[in-house]
Each structure stands twice: as C-alpha cells, then as structure tokens.
C-alpha cells in the first residue's frame, strides 16, 4: 500500500523531509509552512517543491483551517515544527504524526535540548517518534545518540543534531514512507524543560558558588551567536559572556612566538 503524507516543514530538516519524496512525489499531498519562518528557509523549501506538481502548499493560519486540509492524509511528518499539535488535530491523519525531535528521548523533552544536554550532562541525539497527547512522550521509532565533548557549544551541538537527523531520515527513508517500523515505549523519566526556562538558567549570579564545570557548561551551552548568551547583571547593567574552548595539541613554547609581528600588529 502506498501511503500519502503531509509535511509540516521548518528549517533545514523541513527541506530534508520534503526530499524524502523526490522519487515518489505524488505521495506528498500537502506541505504546511509557518509564516514566521524562524530559520529563514521557507524560500528553500518552496524551491525544492517546484517540481512537486501534485503537492498543495499552504501557510499555517489556524487549526480550524488546517483541519480541513488534513482529511484524507494518512500520516504527517512534523519536521522541526514549532507549534503544538492540539487534541483537535491528533485523530485526523489515519496513522497519526511522526515527529522529528532533536534530543535523545526521554532526555531533552521540550525545548532547547542542546542547551540542557550540556548544562545537565545528559545524553544528546535525535529521535523520530510518534506523537501522543503528551509533550514528547510518544513511542520511539528511531534514535541516534550524538557524542559531545568539551569543544562543543550549544551552537555546535544543535547543528550536529541537524546533520544527524538528515542522515537518519535518509537511512530510514523507505521504512518511514512505508510506515514499516517497530515502536518502542519510553520507559525512563528522562528530562523536560519549557522554553522559558533557558533565560533563568543562563544567568550567572556573581556571588553564587559554582564548580568550575558547572560554570563552564552554562557558558558554552549558551554560546550560540547571534542568539543571546549567558549573562550577569551588575548595577542594573546586563553583560553577556561567550566562551571558546580549544584542545591543546602541544605545550606552549614562548620561543615560537614572533613578538615582532605582534608589536607591528598592535601599532
């Protein structure tokens, strides 16, 4: 049986999800874009869809309008879709929703999993899952863990997740499009965070005691230019702090430093 799909597409993973159907374009019946265009990728998704002559493309307005579009769809792929799927929409696609989530569930449920993985020192990765009425509590379809090191920041870890998700989608493409997979329950409690929590956890309190590891983890977890960084406040002024950690390949030798060049550059 050939199932037909909708993709709610956002960012680079939205592009990768549309590409899953390059050889079976007639099965992609609907693509929903968010007019907020958080990652400025809508134009790339639309370009990818130029040859998908039977695919309807709409911009999200509200759930009532979306509900009309979903009748007759077998399954929906949520490709980094930033909006909550409410109960009124859950039962419409015959085989439900497949969510692409940048976290190694059950760790990293909710928002900003790249940040919390560093701050809380929990596993990081990507998960393809079915959604249910809970928040990131659905059954797991596929997962891939991503290793991290002291060289990682929130930014590097986030983009490692994008790459890993694109690779996992391509690897499991046939099984996903045929809905041929085994579901696995999430059995551990894991971790969960709301989006609003990142701001409070990013503040450095100048008179609070931290271990060096705790402080370095907060700084590098929030190093993700051009977004706000970890910060402290003194005399009503906010100061942001970013960090760069590099691995030393050999001991420092002052004899190798060209001090003449340094002096010239400083003139």
| Distance (Å, whole) CA 241 – CA 243 | 7
Least confident of 58-72, 168-182, 224-238: 58-72
What integer pLDDT is reported at residue 267 of this predicted model? 64
pLDDT digits (tens, 9 = 90+) for 21-33: 999 999 999 999 9
What integer pLDDT is reported at residue 265 of this predicted model? 74
Percent over 70 (pLDDT), the chain: 98
- Calculate ∠ Cα 189-158-246, nearest 5°: 110
| Fold of domain 5-193 | Rossmann fold (3.40.50)
Confidence of residue 13 (pLDDT cuts 50, 70, 90): very high
- Whole-prediction pTM value? 0.90
Using DSSP, state whether 140 is helix, strand or coil: strand
DSSP bridge pairs for 7:
31, 77
Least confident of 177-181, 223-227, 259-263: 259-263
With a cut of 80, say whether residue 260 has pLDDT above it.
Answer: no
Confidence of residue 139 (pLDDT cuts 50, 70, 90): very high
CA 12 to chain centre: 10
Instruction: Map out the domains of the chain as residue ranges.
Output: 5-193
| Distance (Å, whole) CA 193 – CA 236 | 28
Work out the mean pLDDT of the chain and round it to a whole number: 94
Average pLDDT over residues 188-198: 95
What integer pLDDT is reported at residue 261 of this predicted model? 74
Confidence of residue 92 (pLDDT cuts 50, 70, 90): very high
């Amino acid at each position: 049986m050939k199932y037909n799909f909708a993709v709610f597409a956002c960012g680079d993973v939205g592009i990768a999800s549309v590409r899953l159907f390059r050889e079976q374009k007639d099965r992609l019946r609907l693509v929903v874009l968010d007019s907020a265009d958080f990652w400025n990728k809508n134009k790339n998704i639309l370009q990818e869809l130029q040859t998908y002559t039977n695919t309807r493309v709409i911009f999200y307005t509200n759930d009532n309008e979306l509900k009309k579009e979903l009748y007759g769809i077998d399954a929906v792929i949520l490709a980094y879709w930033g909006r909550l799927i409410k109960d009124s929409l859950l039962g419409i696609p015959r085989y439900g929703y497949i969510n692409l989530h940048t976290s190694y569930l059950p760790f990293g449920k909710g928002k900003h999993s790249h940040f919390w993985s560093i701050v809380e020192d929990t596993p990081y990765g990507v998960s393809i899952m079915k959604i249910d009425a809970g928040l990131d509590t659905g059954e797991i379809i596929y997962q891939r863990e991503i290793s991290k090191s002291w060289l990682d920041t929130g930014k590097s870890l986030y983009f490692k997740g994008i790459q890993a998700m694109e690779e996992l989608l391509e690897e499991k493409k046939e099984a996903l499009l045929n809905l041929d997979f085994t579901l696995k329950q999430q059995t551990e409690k894991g971790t969960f965070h709301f989006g609003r929590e990142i701001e409070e956890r990013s503040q450095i309190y100048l008179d609070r005691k931290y271990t060096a590891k705790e402080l370095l983890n907060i700084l590098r977890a929030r190093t993700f230019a051009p977004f706000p960084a970890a910060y402290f406040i003194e005399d009503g002024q906010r100061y942001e702090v970013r960090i760069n950690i590099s691995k030393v390949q050999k001991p420092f030798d002052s004899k190798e430093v060209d001090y003449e060049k340094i002096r010239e550059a400083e003139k």
